[in-house]
Structure 1
Amino acid sequence: MSPLIVLAAGSLRPALTPLLARYRTVAGQQVTVEFGPAGLLSRRIEAGEHCDLFASANTGHPARLREKGLALEVRPFARNRLCLTVKRGPRTDGADWLALLSDPRLVIGTSTPGCDPSGDYAWQLFDTAGALLHTGAAPLKQRARPLVGGADTAPIPAGELAAGWIIRRGLADIFIGYAHYAPRLEQDPTLRVVVIPDCHNVFATYALALRSAPARALADFILSAPGQFFLRQAGFLSPCAPLS
């Protein structure tokens, strides 16, 4: 049996690493996986690179692959949301998410829109924040620095989380990223994770693009109770959970 090749959004590493290890045991199927920004992975598939399953941090990339005849099926399998991570200090301690984003003295870091869905979601959050602040999104987008997830951005060292690494290096004061990283980020006493209320947050739906018949069994496992257990353990939400 040939190994299944999986390309997956980098944010899925904490969930898919143990999930795929379990699948190898129960199914007797070897799986190789490569993690990276979903937008860049999708471009590689469109350019002709083979994979059996593509796990994206949005639904748009898998849907486009299917429209182009490059995917057999698209299945949503998880949800996520955003949070802010900030460097602790007099300007940030006690401030809520909107006050932090509106402070022009604070540098905002994001992932790269178009290359990484996390960056696209950050830009959507700017639209919401700009409306609440009555300033529009333009000032926020002009202050934002796409620091990771792009074709030419610096790679994050192994074992590091983008938000912590960027803030500790002084590249940004705030980083907008996925909320499932919050428990790990909160272990650093120099960092503060700031919740964005659900009513203003951006919810990300993750989707699978099945590109070969053998990938169906793996997709079924990801959507099964055992597979969803690993996703919940890593902080992801169910694909059918109500969005409050």
Structure 2
Amino acid sequence: MLRVVCLVFALVFAAAPAAAEKPLTVFAAASLKEALEEIGAAFSDASGHEVVYSFSGTGALARQVEAGAPADVFVAADNAWMTYVAERGAVVKETVKPIAGNTLVIVGPEGSSPLELTPQSVLDRLEGSRMAIADPDTVPAGRYGQSSLISLGLLQVVGDRLAPMENVRIALGAVARGDTLLGLVYATDARIEPNVSVVAELPKDSHPPISYPAALSSSASHPAAADYLAFLSGPKAQEILRSFGFVFDN
């Protein structure tokens, strides 16, 4: 009998560390990948809690969070998708807070020369190729980009040459591989890809302000979820975001 009791206690205590080691799960926009991975490492060092990420286009992640995916924190690339999940009760509305901003650029393969933002110049550069862009129907980067193209009078001439992609990193990769001669991406994306060159910066006033809001998921179960969310707005995380080129004044 004593042996059975000891075995039960041994199993209970063996299982306890495994439960305690469950990582904190963050669903986040693809454009934040490198910055958030560094932030996650800094948070783990400070708190002892492991952080794991699921990166994708914001629209796809929002649908997953809405469906009850096991996310503790959701970081979107625009306010529209965060409002969408908040209105459906998938995140805790009171916890929504912006953590960063960004800017838009057009990139070409490495070594490409600067591009004048006029219809003829863009058409000449494309030479029958296409412009990669995150899907404007579901991805914030594409939505911002489409707004900018409209504002600059470019959409009517390049609209049929746009190549919508699942997320902004896929659009970036298309240019880096030479699949397309131009791509519309965030400035932070261009910084982390050595095989592209920025050929034009899109004016900030040509599109709505780019904002990355974060919030607790309504299904958050990790005890450190609120601490992680607060960490995103703290000095260490903000320093890391700035080092990757994210901005805070737009």
Q: Taking structure 2 as the reference length, what is the TM-score of the superposition? A: 0.78
Q: Which runs of 5+ in 2 are unaligned?
A: 1-19
Alpha-carbon contact 2:57-2:166 (below 8 Å) kept: no
Residue 172 of structure 1, CA deviation: 1.6
What is the aligned counterpart of 2:140 among 117, 120, 130?
117
Where does 1:201-240 land on structure 2 (aligned, <5 Å)? 203-211=209-217, 212=220, 214-238=224-248
Aligned partner letter, 2:74: F
Match of 1:74 in 2: 96
Contact map agreement 1:108 1:176 (CA 8 A) in 2: yes
Determine the C-alpha separation between the residues in 1 that align with 2:65 and 2:91: 10
Letter in 1 for 2:147: Q
23 and 200 in structure 1: CA distance in 2 versus 1, 3 angstrom threshold: same
Larger radius of gyration: 2
Q: How does 1:181-192 map to 2 (within 5 A)?
A: 181-185=189-193, 187-188=194-195, 191-192=197-198
How many residue pairs match? The answer is 221
Q: 1:18 to 1:88 in 2, by over 3 A?
A: closer
1:159 equivalent in structure 2: none
Report the 3-state secondary structure (helix = DSSP H, G, I; strand = E; otherwise coil) of the residue aligned with 2:206.
coil
Spell out the pairing of 1:25-104 with structure 2 (5 A cutoff).
25-72=45-92, 73-87=95-109, 93-98=113-118, 100-101=121-122, 103=124
Quote how far apart the aligned CAs of 1:94 are.
4.1
Whether contact under 8 Å (1:111, 1:146) holds in the other structure is yes
* CA–CA separation in structure 1 for the residues paired with 2:28 and 2:114: 36
Q: How far apart are the structure 1 equivalents of 2:71 and 2:29?
A: 13
> Kindly tell me: are residues 173 and 217 of structure 1, through their superposed partners in 2, closer, same or farther at Cα, counting changes over 3 Å?
same
Contiguous gaps of at least 5 residues in structure 1:
157-161
Q: Aligned residue for 1:197?
A: 203
Question: What is the rounded CA distance, in whole Å, between the counterparts of 1:88 and 1:56 in structure 2?
Answer: 29
> Post-superposition shift, 1:52?
0.7
> Normalising by the residue count of structure 1, what TM-score does the alignment of the two structures yield?
0.80
Given that 1:63 and 1:74 are in contact with CA atoms closer than 8 Å, whether structure 2 keeps it comes out as no
1:174-185 maps to which residues of 2 (within 5 A)? 174-185=182-193
Alpha-carbon shift at residue 231 of structure 1 (Å): 0.5
* Structure 2 residue matching 1:203: 3-state secondary structure: coil
RMSD: 2.5
- Shift in CA distance, 67/192, structure 1 to aligned 2, threshold 3 Å: closer
Equivalent residues of 2:145, 2:207 under 8 A apart: no
Cα distance in 1 between the residues matched to 2:45 and 2:176: 39
Q: Which structure: greater helix fraction?
A: 2
Percent of aligned positions with the same letter in both sequences?
26
SS in structure 2 opposite 1:97? coil
